[in-house]
Structures are given as C-alpha cells and as structure tokens.
C-alpha cells in the first residue's frame, strides 16, 4: 500500500462541518472501550462496523482491525495485524504528519486528522480521511479510523474545474491564469533551470461588440469558442519544439492571453503573435454565416525575477492599447520609453487641477511685429507649467490633458486674467508708447463649459484693459461650422470690441467664404506655409505652391477686411517675402522666442524705429 498525503489538521483548526458520521462513530467507539458495554459486545460492534477501524499499540503496531479496514486497504484483515500502521497509511511521508502521529501515540496530543491518497493492490487510488485518537482511560494505544472520501474529492475537483475554467470556451479563466502566472514567477520555478524569462501575448478581438449587438450573444459565444480553438492550435504548434505549450486563457469578454513560461526572447513571442493573427484571418462559419474577425495583441517579454503578475499583465494591457491606437489587427511590443511617456502623461493628468490651485503655471510672451515697419504691435501669451518634478513644460505637454478633464476652464480663465493684467501694466508703465495688444488662446471647451463672455467682461473690468487690446485665438477647426452657443459667444465678444483671431489657418477647412459670416478680424497663417519661403541659400529650396497659396489667402483675407499674421517667421528672407506680398504682422524666432514679461517691457520701452537689416525689431531682437 502506498500513497500521497495532505498535512495533518490540528483538532483546534478543524472545520466541524467536515467531520463525517464515521469519524464520530470512531471517536465514540474509542471512548466506549472502558464504558458500560462489555468486551464481547464491543468486539462485535467493532467487527461489524461499516467504518474502517484499527487498534494500534503504543509501539505503532496494529493490534486488531475490522473487516471494513481491510476492504479500504484492499487487504486481508488478518494479515494486517502486527503490521506498522504508519507504513500502511503513509503517515511517515512528511515530517509534520509523522511528528503529530507520534505525539498522539505517546499521549501528548489529543488527535490527528489528515487526508491520504492510498493506492490499492489493483492500482485503484482511494482518497481517505485518517483520524488517530487515544483509546481513552487506562487502555494504551490509539484507534485509527479511515473513511473513503474519494467521491467528495472528485466532486471538489469537478467544482474547482468549473470554478477555474470559462464555460463558453472551456479555457482556463482569469483566476486560474493568475494562479499559473504567479506560480511561474516564483523563484523556485525559474531558479531550478530554464531561461528565467517569461512572455505574454495579451489579445483583444477587434469589433467583437458589433457581433454581439447585431447577431446576438449566442453567435458571439460560438465565435469566442471558435477563436479559442484556433488559439489552442497555435499554442500546440508553438509547443512542439519546446518543453511545454503556452497556456491559453480567456480573461473575460473578448480578451485572451497566451502565457509563455521559459520564453527564449522577443522573437519567440513575435512568432507566436504572428501565428495568432494569421490563424484568425480565415473566416469563421457560424450558423451558416461567415464572420471575419481580427485581433490586436500586446506583447511583453522580460526576466521573471523581479516581475510581478500584476505588473506583467498591466504592461501587456497597455501594449494592447497601443496596438489598437496604432491601427488594430496587429501586434505591438512593449516599449519602455513609450510607457514612461504614458506614465508621465498620467502623472501630469492626476496633478493638473491641484497645480492650478497651487499656482504652478507661468506666462511667457512672444512678440507680434508689424511686417512693414518692424515695430512691436502686440504679444501672444503662452502658458507654461513650472512643474516641481519635470521642470518648465510647454503647452503641448498639458493643454490636451486639460481639455480632456475640463481643467482647461479654470486654467484658461487664469491665463486670460493674468495676460490682461500684464497688458494693462505695460500700458501704465509706458504711457507714451502705443499700447500693446495681448493675444490669448481659447479652447473650444472654454466656450462650451463656461460663460466665456461674462468671464472676459469681468476680467476687462477688473484690469481696466480696453477691449480692443485683447485678442482671442481659436483654432480653425474649432470655429468652422460654429453654431448656437459658440457663435453667439463669438458675436458677443466681437460686439464688446474684442478681436477674434483664427489660429493655424490653412490646416483645416480654409473656408474664407464661411469666415465672412463670422465675427473674425484676424487670420494667423500656419507656419507650415511660411517654412516654404527659403531664399537665403541655407535651407530647403522654396516651394512656389506655398507662396501662391499664401499670397492668395492674404489677398482674399484683405478683401474680407481681415488682417493677417504669419507664424514661424525664422529667416530674414521669409520676412522680406511676406512683407512684399502684403502680410500685416509676423511672429517667430527671427524676432524673438517666447520671453518673460520683463523682457517684453524692455523691448516695448525701447521705442524701436523700424526694421533692422535682418528684419528684426531694430536693436531689440531677444536672444534668450
């Protein structure tokens, strides 16, 4: 008789609901040895009992057994007398059980309970619950009772299988996947041999929701099962030349995972991902309907040491998102640099609103210069985030985040108030100079989510800045097609005297006819057109098409009564060409990079007298 074991269960830790009727009878029998029943009566009950029992002396040898004990061991009861009980029931296979058994034999422990997998002579395995308890009174030895729990164990195994497998695809579910993944990441799993690396392909079906919504969940479930079959085939093929095939699991919805323990590197994972995509290319025939489905896959491969199950899956999930963003129906490999950028973005998003409250934002100003005379006419206010960790951040690092979570509204109001206050300060500090106008960028969400007109009116009143010295910039795509509240807000601001400018003109609809019906007074040409103006021999050759388009837009804008500002003026030749075709104002590094309010005050107070030989504001070009 041989077997495997489960550890002993101390009496104090027992689940009382697990105590079987046979256990109770055995314990009662032990207490009855010296009770009211006579020896002959007790012997008759002991022999006829359906519970398997044996009396063991303090030397560990069997003194007597009943018929049921012999049956559960598959042996003749008479041949068991004098045998070592611990050997028959495999009680010495682990140190903990052996120690507890000896303690009960010596009377220092009240009881031992454990489970044992016993193998009968015919090869049949029996799971048994073994209980060892003192005989009681002055009688030496212990009573062994053994009950067959094979049926219960089989039921438990079936229940666990149902609990740990997906009923639709019959694949391991999320719980079993994480159990296997955690086991693969245990040090003893990779320290005893292998590559010490682990890989994961995390995939999601593209457009699966449409299948459920249009064809119903029954077809959707059949599709999931068919996909699971193909994934299993891919895993089996990948495992032919290796020690084991990848584990395929359904994590929920239309998400699947292929776990590769002891991976040999990213090439292996890439081959597996390619095989999966290829396997899904063939149509699925379900209920007479041919369905095509694709998948996006995130691939992660790394050293097992130092990797956590949660971290690996999170990285794979992030990479899966990249695959979908990149166009779907593809696999994407985890990129630490891209992930670091994403983490930085998330860190910025989570701290954006508190940063506004803490006053971490500052403004810089870029001069707007008259093309005809080189004089400073105004400035564009550009917001920066003076982040305590990442340093001074430009708008493209956080404005998009602010628009997503709505914090652009309080941030935009702060920018507007600060810029107007500064413009008024320049006016007061330089009363003899022509006042500078200040141009402030406005996001569409500010128009929709706040009372922009009331905010502007209140700020102008507080700062005492004339409305004509404020210019609000909106992107072309934001203004075109405006109706309802946005159009009403723009009209109200224009009626107030505030100038409305279209930023980055030429990159969107470029509908000048529509512009004629909007309260717009300024067009800002996108820098992509200006960059084609190269005549100094140091850059790329000029693009005649760009010049024709720009000249036409400037001419039409002037006919509509609009003024034109050119962005990204970087060379004197660009400035000269723009000046010749009639552009009104320009901004760019030729004149100045964005600078502090103090530098603008110096430039404004200098009273420039026309353009220098290179096109910059004479003697006042700012070179940070």
Query: Tens digit of pLDDT for each residue in 249-279?
Result: 999 999 999 999 989 999 999 999 999 999 9
Q: How far apart are the first and last CA of the chain?
A: 89
pLDDT > 90: percent of the chain: 55
Closest CA to 65 of 51, 83, 50, 80: 80
Rounded mean pLDDT, 354-360: 96
Bridge partners (DSSP) of residue 206 are: 294
Instruction: Please give the Cα distance from 308 to 220 (Å, whole number).
Output: 33
* Residue 399: alpha-carbon gap to chain centroid: 22
Judged against a pLDDT cut of 90, whether residue 159 lies above it is answered with no
| Average pLDDT of span 561-578 | 92
Which pLDDT belongs to residue 22?
38
Q: In which band, very low, low, confident or very high, does the pLDDT at 482 lie, cut at 50, 70 and 90?
A: low
Local confidence band at 540 (pLDDT 50, 70, 90 cut-offs): low
Question: What whole-number percentage of the chain has pLDDT above 70?
Answer: 85
Q: Which residues contact 594 (CB under 8 A, 6 or more apart)?
A: 364, 365, 366, 382
Give the Å distances, CA to CA, from 77 to 73, 84, 255, 279.
9, 14, 57, 61
Task: Yes or no: say if 78 and 93 are a contact pair by the CB < 8 Å rule.
Answer: no
What is the pLDDT at residue 607?
47
Q: Decide if 91 contacts 62 (C-beta within 8 A).
A: no
pLDDT, residue 298, reads 96
CA separation (Å) from 245 to 50, 231, 259, 609?
A: 47, 11, 9, 79
Highest-scoring range by mean pLDDT, 35-49, 329-343, 408-422: 408-422
> Does the pLDDT of residue 620 top 70, yes or no?
no
Whether the per-residue pLDDT at 500 is higher than 90: the answer is yes
Q: What is the mean pLDDT of the chain?
A: 85
Cβ neighbors of 420 (< 8 A, separation 6 or more) are 438, 440, 459, 460, 463, 465, 470
Q: Give mean pLDDT, residues 7-33.
A: 40
- Neighbouring C-beta atoms of residue 12, cutoff 10 Å: 7
Position 131 scores a pLDDT of 93
Q: Which helix (H) or strand (E) covers residue 344, if one does? A: helix 336-358
Structure confidence at residue 118 as a pLDDT band (50, 70, 90): confident
The pLDDT value recorded for residue 591 is 94
Least confident of 121-125, 340-344, 538-542: 538-542
Q: pLDDT category, 130, cuts 50, 70, 90?
A: very high
Using the predicted structure, report yes or no on whether residue 484 has a pLDDT greater than 70: no
What does 248-315 look like in DSSP terms, one character per residue?
Answer: EEEEETTEEEEEEET---HHHHHHHHHHHHHHTTSPEEETTEEE--EEEEEEEEEESTT--HHHHHHH
Q: What is the pTM of this model?
A: 0.62
Using the predicted structure, report yes or no on whether residue 343 has a pLDDT greater than 90: no
Say if CB 358 and CB 352 are below 8 A apart: no
Q: How many Cα atoms are found within 13 Å in the side-chain-facing hemisphere of 536? A: 12
At a CB cut-off of 8 Å and minimum separation 6, what does 7 contact? 94, 96, 97, 114
Distance between CA atoms of residues 142 and 54, nearest Å: 8
Give the pLDDT confidence score for residue 181 in this predicted structure. Answer: 95
Tokens of 42: 């007790």
Asked whether the beta carbons of 419 and 442 are under 8 A apart, the reply is: no
CB 390 within 8 A of CB 351: no
Tokens of 242: 């290796």
Assigned token pair, 79: 């041949």
Residue (of 412, 518, 499) closest to 455 by Cα position: 412
Average pLDDT of span 234-245: 86
Lowest-confidence range among 52-66, 154-168, 221-235, 508-522? 508-522
* pLDDT 10s digits, 283-341: 999 878 899 999 999 999 999 988 999 999 999 999 999 999 999 999 999 999 998 88
Question: For residue 619, what pLDDT is reported?
Answer: 36
Non-local CB neighbours of 161 within 8 Å, separated by 6+ positions: none
Phi, psi of 299 (to 5 degrees): -115, 125
Is pLDDT above 60 for 481? no
pLDDT at position 240 is 85
Copy the structure tokens of residue 615. Answer: 């096109």
Q: Which of 9-18, 119-128, 424-433 has the lowest mean pLDDT?
A: 9-18
Tokens of 320: 């899966």
For the chain, list the domains and their CATH numbers: 50-153 (3.30.450.20), 164-334 (3.30.70.270), 360-605 (3.20.20.450)
Whole-angstrom distance, CA of residue 172 vs CA of residue 170: 7
pLDDT at position 179, please? 93
Residues 102-118 have a mean pLDDT of 88
């Amino acid at each position: 008789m041989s077997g495997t074991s489960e550890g002993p269960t101390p009496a104090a830790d027992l689940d009382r609901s697990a105590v079987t009727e046979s256990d109770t009878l055995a314990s009662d029998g032990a207490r009855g040895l010296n009770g009211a029943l006579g020896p002959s009566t007790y012997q008759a009950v002991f022999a006829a009992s359906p519970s398997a029992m044996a009396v063991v002396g303090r030397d560990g040898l069997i003194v007597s057994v009943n018929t049921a004990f012999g049956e559960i061991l598959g042996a003749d009861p008479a041949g068991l007398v004098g045998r070592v009980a611990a050997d028959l029931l495999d009680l010495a296979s682990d140190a903990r059980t052996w120690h507890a058994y000896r303690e009960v034999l010596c009377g220092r422990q009240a009881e031992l309970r454990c489970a044992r997998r016993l193998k009968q002579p015919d090869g049949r395995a029996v799971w048994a619950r073994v209980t060892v308890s003192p005989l009681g009174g002055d009688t030496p030895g212990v009573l062994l009772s053994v009950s067959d729990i094979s049926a219960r164990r089989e039921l438990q195994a079936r229940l666990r299988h149902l609990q740990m497998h997906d009923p639709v695809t019959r694949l391991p579910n999320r719980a079993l996947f994480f159990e296997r993944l955690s086991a693969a990441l245990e040090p003893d799993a990779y320290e005893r041999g292998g590559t010490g690396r682990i890989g994961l392909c995390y995939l999601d079906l593209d457009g699966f929701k449409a299948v459920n919504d249009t064809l119903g969940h029954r077809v959707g479930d059949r599709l999931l099962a068919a996909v699971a079959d193909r994934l299993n085939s891919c895993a089996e093929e990948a495992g032919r030349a290796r020690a084991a095939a990848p584990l395929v699991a359904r994590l929920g919805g239309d998400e699947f995972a292929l776990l590769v323990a002891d991976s040999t590197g990213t090439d292996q994972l890439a081959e597996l991902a390619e095989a999966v995509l290829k396997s899904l290319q063939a149509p699925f025939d379900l209920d007479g309907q041919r369905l095509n489905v694709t998948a996006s896959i995130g691939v992660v491969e790394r050293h097992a040491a130092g990797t956590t199950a949660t971290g690996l899956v999170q990285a794979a999930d992030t990479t899966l998102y990249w695959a979908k963003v990149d166009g779907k129906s593809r696999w994407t490999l985890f990129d630490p640099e891209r992930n670091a950028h994403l983490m930085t973005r998330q860190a910025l998003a989570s701290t954006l609103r508190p940063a506004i409250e803490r006053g971490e934002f500052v403004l810089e100003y870029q001069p707007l210069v008259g093309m005809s005379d080189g004089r400073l006419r105004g400035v564009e206010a550009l917001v920066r985030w003076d982040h305590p960790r990442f340093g001074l951040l430009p708008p493209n690092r956080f404005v998009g985040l602010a628009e997503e979570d709505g914090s652009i509204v309080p941030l935009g109001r702060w920018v507007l108030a600060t810029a107007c206050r500064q413009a008024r300060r320049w006016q007061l500090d330089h009363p003899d100079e022509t006042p500078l106008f200040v141009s402030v960028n406005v996001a569409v969400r500010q128009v929709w989510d706040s009372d922009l007109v009331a905010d502007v009116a209140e700020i102008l009143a507080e700062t005492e800045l004339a409305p004509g010295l404020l210019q609000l910039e909106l992107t072309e795509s934001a203004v075109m097609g405006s109706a309802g509240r946005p159009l009403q807000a723009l009209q109200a601001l224009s009626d107030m005297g505030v100038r409305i400018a279209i930023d980055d003109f030429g990159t969107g609809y470029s509908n000048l006819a529509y512009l004629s019906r909007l309260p717009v007074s300024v067009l800002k040409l996108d820098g992509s057109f200006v960059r084609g103006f190269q005549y100094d021999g140091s850059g790329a050759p000029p693009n005649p098409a760009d010049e024709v388009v720009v000249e036409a837009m400037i001419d039409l804008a002037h006919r509509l009564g609009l003024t034109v500002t050119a962005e990204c003026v970087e060379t004197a030749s660009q400035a000269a060409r723009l000046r010749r075709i009639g552009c009104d104002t320009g901004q760019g590094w030729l004149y100045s990079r964005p600078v502090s309010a103090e530098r603008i005050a110096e430039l404004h107070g200098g009273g420039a007298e026309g353009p220098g030989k290179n096109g910059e504001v004479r003697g006042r070009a700012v070179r940070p």
